[in-house]
A = this chain, B = another copy of it.
Amino acid sequence: MDMHDLTRELHIKNDSKIVMLVGDGLGGLPKDPGGKTELETADTPNLDALAARGVQGLSTPVKPGIAPGSGPGHLGLFGYDPLKYQIGRGALEATGIGFEMQPGDVAVRCNFCTLDAQGNIVDRRAGRIPTEESVPLVESLRQIKIPGVEIFVEPVKEHRFVVVFRGDGLGGNVKDTDPQATGVPPLDPVAEDEASQKTAEVAKEFLRQAREILKDHPKANFHTMRGFAERPNLPPYSEVYGLKAAAIAVYPMYKGLARLVGMDIVGDAKTLEEQIDTLKKHWQDYDFFFIHFKYTDSTGEDGNFDEKVKRTEQLDGCIPGILELNPDVLIVTGDHSTPAFLKSHSWHPVPTLLVSDCCRPDPHTSFGETTAITGGLGQFEAQYLMLLALSNAGRMGKYGA
């Protein structure tokens, strides 16, 4: 049974406020054997004070041993089974640049590539053409017209761009045209089901016109298409939880993910301080607030342990501003771990803290990976965190009589 079958039936509306503060990639690893993690090294008096009042545990983003990308990591936190709901690559890429996909849209990741005179690929990334060069090329593709289909062409970075097709009867199951090899020509787009026939034809015509437009460019004289994807059909927060939800994020990817589950994107904050100001400004307008902090992840990805420690301390510093508002439920967690030691997202479960007046506190007085092992929340799948949030907010009725 999908948990949303339960929450649809059992949720209750009240005046409570829930805040979910997400330190992206919050969990970590010791720098040296026997040492402390980034979170444990950081001086976090506010998180520790919350730990004393609340209950902590370890959130497994998907399943043990699975390192998630940002999409499944956040879907789990938002309460959507990340193995059931998948966001196709094209849709995630479009979401990541802030493109608002509509139901029925099909998004495609494209890479500029270099063809030789025989039409075989010699470079699948067109020499990683710099963004300054690729943007005008991407814009030149906007002249492509196909009857009955609205087309959006949006630059990403370097050789990457996104194409979105909007029109009736466009399915998302079309094979990649990138052959994943050089010395061979790009493939034709081939529909994998009946509903995607029209998409494949549209893509073929797009590629035909693009080849003509790009043919004289010395490096980027063609492009491939990958990860055809419809907008994922995620039932919105309002329907599954009865929550009016707001997202306060700086980066387009996280705004986009929040938008996919029906959150409103509020404010235009560029810093964590501005995010907390935005929270205060919109406090009366919403039931649920998702606040996203990127830099615990990006510093981890950089392998910069000390900088991740500092960014964790910065995250800690925003807690008093949240507490001024007296949220009924405050959750601090991450969408996955990003240990500086690994310079990448990892599978390690994420330290997670929940504070409410009816949580069952555990004995811990600090917050970290080691204390979380023996925290009262135990080890749980991220997809259940929203159930705990709702229950602690008095927003869930009893299951069965």
Contact = CB atoms under 8 A, between A and B. Distances in A.
Given A64-B380, A358-B29, A373 B373 contact: no
| Copies of this subunit | 2
A347 B64 contact: no
Contacts of A171: none
A341 B361 CA distance: 13
Contacts of A63: 3, 6, 384, 387
B370 A373 contact: no
A388 B72 contact: no
Contacts of A396: 65-67, 347
A6 B62 CA distance: 11
Contacts of A70: 400-401
A92 interface: yes
Contacts of A87: 400-401
B358 A362 contact: no
A398 interface: yes
Contacts of A380: 64, 379
B362 A400 contact: no
Contacts of A369: 360, 376
B1 A65 contact: no
A71 B358 contact: no
A400 B71 contact: yes
Interface string A355-383: 00010111100000110011111111000
Given A388-B64, A391-B67, A86 B400 contact: yes
Contacts of A69: 398-401
A216 B173 CA distance: 67
Contacts of A179: none
Contact of A82 (B30, B73, B387, B400): B400
A342 B70 CA distance: 37
Nearest to A28: B360
A141 to B, nearest CB: 23
A73 B73 CA distance: 31
A172 interface: no
A68 interface: yes
Interface in A326-370: 339, 341-342, 344-349, 358, 360-363, 369-370
A401 B92 contact: yes
A68 B400 contact: yes
Contacts of A308: none
Given A347-B396, A390-B65, A373 B379 contact: no
28 contacts: A1-B84, A6-B63, A10-B66, A34-B361, A63-B384, A64-B387, A65-B388, A66-B387, A66-B391, A66-B396, A66-B399, A68-B398, A68-B400, A69-B398, A82-B399, A86-B400, A87-B400, A87-B401, A93-B401, A341-B358, A346-B391, A347-B396, A360-B369, A373-B376, A374-B374, A378-B378, A378-B379, A379-B380
Interface of A: 1, 3, 6, 10, 29-30, 33-34, 37, 53, 58, 62-73, 82-84, 86-87, 89, 92-93, 339, 341-342, 344-349, 358, 360-363, 369-370, 373-380, 384, 386-391, 396-401
